[in-house]
């Protein structure tokens, strides 16, 4: 849905972000947020916005790739697919037809720390949406047919997005494998075929029982409805779902790395070489978090960034560069465990990867030694916050971010605090985090080259891509 709701509030916020600090304090713009927790532990976050007769809904569960069972890589993602396969009450297809048939849209995604299910539709569809979400929170259509169907769908996704795609998301899952030590953080969240095929109905039923109870979820609702009306609807549809015991969350924490990690790979489908670089980041909510978000913007936030201007434009070593804190499986504010600042760049075949790394180190060293001009820092903050506000514009996205903030931070009002944290970052803060985290000892590097370049680099030839399959999904 291309229409974006609530532009007036966004313009006010953008103006305030650019205003002097005194003006911000005197007339700060805030998202209206009301929160309530039901007796069964389900938390509901509502933000009323009458600018459009629509509503956005997000149901976020506190489970993702990081908590899937060992020897079941990709299981959290597989389970997300199974959530769309119907229930005994609402068979497969009903969910899609009810929402899309009324002009709405829906989606779901699996991330390291959560799985989210999002919808947007006319506000008249809110009751059916909540009924459908409550229905699949209670139970699913656990059947061998549905399981086999979605195992095949996820395997095909791996073929299409990894095995038969140039670069094959190596900057995500290979980077995690190399950078992290604990299995929860390091394993391939897309999954191996062996692990996916090994999933049983008993696994599926246990996962739903353990992680998909109301006490492990947050619902975000944004749009043309009052908080009291929204709370009443959620109580009506979810209130009688009993809380369920949730396994204790394991300790997934890891220290910064003390020795650089590096790997070289050959790619049968790539045309030019690529480099992925990652550094372990500060824990969420620590004093270094916001400064690192600002530094990420300064270094890798688009065409104006230091690395783009220095390596793509200036030295002309790279063809492009992308990345950032939490990229690409999330953003700077939605993680709940060890994460990376990752860079992904295509570089010219006549350039050595060590020369690219040296240039990146040079740009970082300049920040550490010289800081950044005040106007450069202000511009980076403004761009960071403008992107942040724009991401909250659609009701569906705002509902999702509110629910995630409540789930991961324990307080949806975190969304209102982020601008203040960003604006408080100083040049000294940026220098400190650059010196602490963007070090060679804390750095992980993967060099991925086309198969034709592999022998000259002493890299083993790549395995042949797996043949694509026809989707088993109806």
Encode pLDDT of 378-413 as tens digits: 999 999 999 999 999 999 999 999 999 999 999 999
Return the pLDDT at 463.
74
The position carrying tokens 């350039």 is 351
pTM: 0.92
| β-strand pairing of 443-450 with 274-280 | antiparallel
Give phi and psi for 117, each to the nearest 5: -125, 120
Q: What is the mean pLDDT of the chain?
A: 92
Task: Give residue 53's pLDDT.
Answer: 97
Name every residue whose Cβ is closer than 8 Å to that of residue 200 and which is 6 or more positions away in sequence. Answer: 147
List, in order, residues 6 or more apart from 216 with CB less than 8 Å away: 41, 61, 62, 63, 244, 246
In this structure, what token pair is assigned to residue 393? 């514009």
Long-range contacts of 194-200 (CB under 8 A, 24+ apart): 195/71, 195/72, 195/73, 195/74, 195/75, 196/73, 196/74, 196/75, 196/78, 196/151, 196/154, 196/155, 197/151, 198/71, 198/72, 199/72, 199/75, 199/78, 199/147, 199/151, 200/147
For residues 195 and 72, give the distance between their C-alpha atoms in angstroms, rounded to a whole number.
Answer: 5
56 DSSP β-pair partners: 120, 222
Residue with tokens 């395997």: 155
- Asked if pLDDT for residue 8 goes beyond 70, the answer is no
> What tokens does 231 get?
């709370």
The reported pLDDT for the residue numbered 22 is 43
| pLDDT tens digits, 92-121 | 999 999 999 989 999 999 999 999 999 999
Does the structure show a pLDDT above 90 at 450?
A: yes
Closest CA to 117 of 177, 40, 60: 60
Other residues' Cβ atoms within 10 Å of the Cβ of residue 320: 13
Q: Residue 228: pLDDT above 90?
A: yes
Task: Report the pLDDT averaged over residues 171-200.
Answer: 97
pLDDT at 462: 83
Task: Quote the pLDDT of residue 430.
Answer: 98
Lowest-confidence segment of 201-205, 212-216, 240-244, 468-472 by average pLDDT:
468-472
Nearest to 233 by CA among 42, 24, 473, 82: 42
Whole-angstrom distance, CA of residue 152 vs CA of residue 77: 13
Q: Is the pLDDT of residue 31 over 60?
A: yes
Compute the distance between CA of residue 377 and CA of residue 434 in angstroms, rounded to an integer. Answer: 14
Residue 11 predicted with pLDDT over 60: no
For helices 374-391 and 414-423, give the axis angle rounded to 10 degrees. 170
Tokens of 48: 């009323």
The three state secondary structure string of the chain is CCCCCCHHHHHHHHHHHHCCHHHHHHCCCCCCCEEEECCCCCEEEEEECCCCCEEEEEEEECCCHHHCCCCCCCHHHHHHHHCCCECCCCECCHHHHHHHCCCCEEEEEECCCCEEEEEEEEHHHHHHHHHHHHHHHHCCCCCHHHHHHHHHHHHHHHHHHHHCCCCCCHHHHHHHHHHCCCHHHHCCCCCCHHHHHHCCHHHHHHHHHHHCCHHHEEEEEEECCCHHHHHHHHHHHHCCCCCCCCCCCCCCCCCCCCCCEEEEEEECCCCCCEEEEEEECCCCCCCCHHHHHHHHHHHHCCCCCHHHHHHHHHCCCEEEEEEEECCCCCCCCCCCCCCEEEEEEEECCCCCHHHHHHHHHHHHHHHHHHCCCHHHHHHHHHHHHHHHHHHCCCHHHHHHHHHHHHHHHCCCCHHHHHHHHHHCCCHHHHHHHHHHHCCCCCEEEEEEEEHHHHHHHCCCCCCCCCCCCCCCCC
């Amino acid at each position: 849905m291309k229409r974006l709701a609530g532009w007036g509030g966004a313009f006010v916020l953008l103006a305030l972000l650019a205003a002097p600090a005194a003006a911000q304090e005197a007339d700060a713009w805030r998202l209206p947020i009301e929160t309530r927790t039901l007796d069964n532990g389900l938390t509901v976050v509502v933000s009323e916005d009458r600018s459009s007769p629509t509503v956005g809904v997000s149901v976020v569960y506190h489970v993702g790739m990081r908590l899937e069972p060992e020897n079941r890589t990709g299981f959290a993602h597989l389970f997300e697919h199974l959530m769309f396969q119907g229930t005994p009450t609402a068979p497969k297809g009903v969910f899609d037809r009810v929402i899309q048939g009324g002009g709405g849209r829906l989606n779901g995604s699996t991330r390291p720390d959560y799985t989210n299910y999002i919808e947007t539709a006319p506000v008249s569809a809110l009751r059916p949406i909540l009924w459908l979400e409550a229905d699949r929170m209670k139970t699913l259509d656990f059947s061998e047919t549905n399981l086999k169907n979605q195992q095949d769908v996820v395997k095909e996704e791996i073929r299409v997005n990894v095995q038969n795609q140039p670069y094959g998301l190596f900057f995500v899952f290979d980077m995690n494998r190399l950078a992290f030590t604990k299995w929860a953080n390091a394993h391939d969240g897309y999954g191996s075929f062996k692990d996916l095929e090994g999933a049983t109905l008993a696994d599926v039923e246990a996962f739903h029982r353990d992680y998909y109870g109301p006490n492990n979820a947050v619902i975000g609702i944004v749009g043309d409805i009052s908080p009291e009306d929204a709370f009443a609807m959620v109580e009506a549809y979810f209130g009688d779902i009993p809380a369920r015991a949730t396994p204790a969350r394991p300790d997934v924490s890891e220290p910064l790395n003390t020795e650089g990690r590096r790997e070289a790979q050959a790619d049968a489908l790539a045309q030019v070489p690529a480099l992925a670089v990652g550094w372990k980041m500060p824990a969420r909510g620590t004093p270094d978090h916001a400064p690192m978000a600002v530094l990420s913007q300064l270094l890798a936030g688009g065409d104006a960034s230091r690395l783009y201007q220095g390596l793509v434009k200036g030295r002309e070593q790279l063809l492009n560069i992308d990345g950032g804190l939490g990229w690409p499986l999330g953003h700077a504010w939605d993680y709940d465990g060890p994460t990376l600042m990752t860079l992904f760049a295509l570089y010219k075949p006549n350039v050595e990867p060590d020369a690219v790394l040296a240039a990146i180190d040079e740009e970082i060293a300049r920040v550490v030694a010289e800081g950044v001009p005040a106007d450069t820092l202000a511009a980076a903050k403004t761009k960071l916050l403008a992107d942040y506000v724009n991401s909250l514009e659609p009701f569906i996205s705002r509902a999702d971010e509110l629910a995630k903030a409540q789930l991961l931070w324990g307080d949806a009002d975190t969304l209102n605090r982020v601008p203040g944290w960003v604006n408080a970052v100083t040049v000294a803060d940026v220098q400190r985090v650059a010196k602490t985290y963007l070090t060679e000892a804390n750095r992980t590097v993967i060099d991925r080259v086309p198969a034709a370049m592999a022998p000259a680099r002493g890299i083993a030839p790549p395995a042949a891509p797996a043949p694509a399959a026809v989707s088993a999904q109806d």
